[in-house]
Amino acid sequence: MSTPPDIVVPVREGAANEQLRYALRSWAAHLPHRRVWIVGYRPRWAVGVEHIPTRQTGTKYQNTTAAVRAVCEHAEVSDAFLLCNDDFFVMRPVEAMPVLHRGPVRTVEAYYAARANGAYLRGLRETRDLLVELGHPDPVSYELHVPMPVQKTGMLAALDAARHLDVVHKRTLHGNLAGLGGEQIRDVKILHRAPRDYGPDSPFLSTMPDSFAAGHVGQFIRRAFPRPCRYETAGRR
């Protein structure tokens, strides 16, 4: 049996981060892995995890890019790892994390262009243009809110190719350059407090701070994982 991958999660500074607490509970219960690496800020209650401190002096996009580069350059992180955010919840057991994508970048671009015109959309377009230059005329988006299997060498090559971008869609760049393929799903992010299309059969969920703290989806996740896991200070519920 092959060794399971490490889980890597960049964490911003200064948050109590109850979403991370329940994400860790879900990974401990349902996602096979070797170790968990918190990159950036480690909450005081988080135990039994590895930690890579990073400086967080840029934008959120620059900070997460620096975090992913630090992971890929760290000798002790497994060569294949699962890249997560601190609000990714695995709601059912999986034998191994599949590669999942969101469909063509052009479709995702149209979705965001109809709603906003900020840094995220600019980064999407610049990442797409870079992929076209590199021989991928119709790239696929991997910007889903689910764990993503990553290879260190492939991700480093992607980050090196995008050094000139201040907002790089890292998952999308790596997924296309590495030819990961995968299965298309719709994104699992729940933005609002009211119930949405999820339930006992939802294998993955993600939340916003408000929808986790005060929404139906947050209640659903907290009920699913009521007990502390091995990554929390003993006695915390």
Total number of domains constituting the chain: 1
- The answer to the question of residue 229 being in a domain is no
Q: What is the pLDDT of residues 110-160, one digit of tens each?
A: 999 988 779 999 999 999 999 999 999 999 999 999 999 999 999 999 999
CA dihedral 151, 167, 57, 38 (to 10 degrees): -30
- The answer to the question of residue 232 being in a domain is no
Residue 102 belongs to what domain range?
6-224
Q: Which residues lie closer than 8 Å to 127 by C-beta, 6 or more apart?
A: 105, 162, 165, 168, 169, 172, 173
188 pLDDT exceeds 50? yes
3-state secondary structure of 181: coil
- The answer to the question of residue 140 being in a domain is yes
- The answer to the question of residue 145 being in a domain is yes
- The answer to the question of residue 237 being in a domain is no
CATH of the domain at 100: 3.90.550
- The answer to the question of residue 108 being in a domain is yes
